[in-house]
Structure 1
Amino acid sequence: MTGGTRKRGATWSYYFDLGKIDGKRQKKEKGGFKTKKEAETALAKAINEYNNAGAVFTPSEITVSDYLDQWYDLYCKPNLKYQSQVTYLRIIEIHLKPKYGKYRLKALTSAILQEYANDLKMSGLAKKYVSCILTVFGAALDYAVEPMHYLSANPMRYVKLPKIERSPRERIVLSMEDWERIVERFPSGSRFYIPLMIGFYTGLRISETFGLTWDDIDLEKRELTVNKQIVKRNFGADVRKVVEKKDKRKLRSSWYFATPKTQSSKRTVKFGEMLYQALKQERAEQMKNELKHGERYTIQVVKKELDEKGNEMQRIVPVQKSLQSDLPRVKMVCVTEHGEYTSTDSFKYCSKIIHKELKIAFDYHSLRHTHATILIESGADVKDVQTRLGHANIQTTLQTYVHDTEKMANRSVDIFEQAVKQKKLS
């Protein structure tokens, strides 16, 4: 490694060559030292830090930055879904490269990475996000061991996630009074009435509700089928350009149908009279509006495309009815009077009004949580609730949606008292 000192004006500076990043040789220079000796001492310390990152090792030529780029191209692109690619690349560019990008890969040790994990904890990041950063780094280093053989062992293996004492996220359960105020503010005829009703009366996730088409709803059997969800993604640019916000002209986004969150998310959900009447009326109104607005009415068609891995996906394309399209039409459940698609982005306005105008703690997930809590409080079988919500295992239902409430506690007391009385009589 080359380096040296030089006098610049009244002070001294040191400089030395770094490893290559993006194939280009990088140079480090720092000035402001009063004497040449101070600059030489600082140079030796800087070179030692660069070469070792605080540890004794046998260095490899590849830097962490270049390796992460290599790992992303070789592993992430072919194997991860679009949203996961975006998440991984943001972690790489925002967290990993700025911290360790200039160092050589073999400079990393468990001690160094444990200190990094502790620093992430102290930075105030959410526990889940800290875990995600460390998981991504760990996966990258696993790949460096096998199949790349850049490392003999993964230094992340012995790093422990620091305990982050943080109050659990409040899970909002709406009172019936608050629910009545919400549907009074967004009554039948509002573009938000149907998604609110679906969330409250079925417990669907927001991406499932806004992915529903009329083909998914059987009014005669009073049931709906969850076989897809809605996702927003960019097209016309690769993930790296999206993350780095380059080539903004091509960073267009659109809504796509995607597979459900998990295999167990594919399910049929029965519903009762209230939602039946709401859906029946909405279906009739949409048919009436389409006749009323005629060729000016907006419809949605689906266009088949290929994702980064060559898998088929379906993009939802809005077109005016007057434009004859050869693409198959899809009839979305959540639309406006003029047929425009009501998306999860559109629903943010509804949530904002409920927060600021009605002063009610609310997000769409609170409808799902309220639905599950009412069922459990009323004595519904937990296994049935799990199936209805589409959870992969019953522990998720128990830990996430079933919690102690005053009503449940009182019912337990009543059950016990009645059981004791029966035993005394027998």
Structure 2
Amino acid sequence: MAEVNTRKRGSNWEYRFEIASVGGKRKQKSKGGFRTKKEALEAGTKALNEYNNTGLTFTASDMSISDYMDLWFEEYCKLNYKYNTLLNYRGHIEHHIKPALGEYKLSALKPTAVQMFVNNFKIKGYSKSHTVGIFTTLSSALDYAIEPLKLIQFNPASPVKIPRFEPRDSIRYVISVKDFKRILDKFPPGHPFYIPTILGYMAGLRKSEVYGISWDDIDFKNKTLHISKSVYKRYADMTRQTKGFGWFIGTPKTYKSDRIVKLDDWTISELKKEKIRQQENRLFYGRYYTTLYKRVEKDDAGNDIYKIIESVIPLDLPPLNLVCVRENGVYCDSDTEKYYSKVIRNNLKIKFNFHSLRHTHATILMENGANPVDVAERLGHANIEQTFAYTHNTLKMQAQSIDILADVVKL
């Protein structure tokens, strides 16, 4: 077994140890420049331990949950997930998993500790969806520790049960046609929230998709919309998520999200009017009109992403002809939706969030007999089961079920 040796070279110390031979020739690893023999020996011991663990600076027996979650996030999550998912995971890790379990050793974590960790969220009044999200983050990380890392043999989250939560109707609402018209009256043509509301309700788009649509995505002749990108906020410091952010364009949520959506005549008509309105605004503001550009950058996995740049001065960058802009051309980002949603809830007294538009779109189609396969493709769902779980069981659907039963039985 290799041992760490030290020797003095000039006024400094050096460590040295033998490593695997290459081509039958003996090899050694060494590093100098240490002030004392003790410093050289400590550094050499650490380097030998890392070498014996194939480049890892730890052993599973003494690694903390806190350090492991950072390892999982850096080595797996950043290479496999979209940025918004990374933000959720980072929040779960920093605000919940590390404070409660971070000091435990990875190899010593038991199901009892994980069960108490999960139960505590219900005690604190967290929603079921939030609790499941945090638990799933932890469980997924522990699965990765089993395979492929082989740091542990059993996932202590596997036997854990999610507490029973009372059902809440606070996330998804069906927006009636009457309320949809009231919302459009509140935010009429020319308002920054007018077109996003229409695209959410009439096309079933995600918020991140709506705010990434450009005019060249719309085929007015064939009445189609190509969803090929999404917009998200990217922070300079993902952990703190306080300041230093920009808006970026990336690929859609999943491969199924890249799709062609058919549009109705009215929606096409409103989009045409909006395009003409923007052209008139550009002429009106002249050199004070803001133009949007895209600048290529890299995400954590090395993929190309595009930062949205605003400027009244011409730039040597590709232009972005986004649909969702303000009167003077400034980008209308998805954060503005939070304010408009509050107005709808507080002033119009409509239970609303932007996702309700997409949920309503799916429910209306299913309620009126649309083919579930077509609805799934329209929404960009990865599978049809997701679409069935997504829609709202309305009184009209229940009545249709009763009619079907009566027609079959005929008593």
TM-score by length of 2: 0.77
Contact 2:84 2:232 in 1 (8 A): no
Contact 2:90 2:238 in 1 (8 A): no
Q: What is the correspondence of 1:376-391 to structure 2 with a 5 Å cutoff?
A: 376-391=366-381
Q: 1:144 to 1:184 in 2, by over 3 A?
A: closer
Name the SS for the 2:337 alignment partner. helix
State which of 239, 246, 270 in structure 2 corresponds to 1:243. Answer: 239
Q: CA deviation at 1:380?
A: 2.2
RMSD over equivalenced CA pairs, Å: 2.6
CA deviation map 1:261-320 (0-9, x unaligned): 122212111112211211111111111111121111011100000112221111111111
CA deviation map 1:3-24 (0-9, x unaligned): xxxxxxxxxxxxxxxxxxxxxx
Q: Whole-Å Cα distance in 2 between the matches of residues 83 and 411 of structure 1?
A: 39
Q: Which has the larger displacement, 156-165 or 297-306?
A: 156-165
Q: What is the correspondence of 1:11-410 to structure 2 with a 5 Å cutoff?
A: 60-146=61-147, 148-169=149-170, 171-234=172-235, 237=236, 241-244=237-240, 251-320=243-312, 323-405=313-395, 407-410=396-399
Name the SS for the 2:381 alignment partner. coil
Structure 2 gap ranges (5+): 1-59
Q: Whole-Å Cα distance in 2 between the matches of residues 416 and 151 of structure 1?
A: 53
1:29 aligned partner? none
Q: Whole-Å Cα distance in 2 between the matches of residues 170 and 75 of structure 1?
A: 30
Q: 1:92 to 1:292 in 2, by over 3 A?
A: same
Q: CA deviation at 1:342?
A: 1.4
Name the SS for the 2:158 alignment partner. helix
Structure 1 gap ranges (5+): 1-58
Q: Whole-Å Cα distance in 2 between the matches of residues 152 and 170 of structure 1?
A: 38
Name the SS for the 2:134 alignment partner. helix
CA deviation map 1:355-375 (0-9, x unaligned): 222222222222222222322
Q: Whole-Å Cα distance in 2 between the matches of residues 418 and 96 of structure 1?
A: 54
Q: 1:140 to 1:394 in 2, by over 3 A?
A: closer
Q: Whole-Å Cα distance in 2 between the matches of residues 228 and 367 of structure 1?
A: 19
Name the SS for the 1:91 alignment partner. helix
Contact 2:82 2:253 in 1 (8 A): no
Q: Whole-Å Cα distance in 2 between the matches of residues 81 and 201 of structure 1?
A: 26
Q: Whole-Å Cα distance in 2 between the matches of residues 388 and 146 of structure 1?
A: 36
Contact 2:294 2:318 in 1 (8 A): yes
TM-score by length of 1: 0.75
1:34 aligned partner? none
Matched-pair identity in %: 41
Q: CA deviation at 1:413?
A: 5.1
Q: Which has the larger displacement, 323-332 or 89-98?
A: 89-98
The letter of the residue matching 1:408 is M
2:14 aligned partner? none
Q: CA deviation at 1:227?
A: 0.9
Q: Which has the larger displacement, 210-219 or 166-175?
A: 166-175
Q: 1:108 to 1:338 in 2, by over 3 A?
A: same
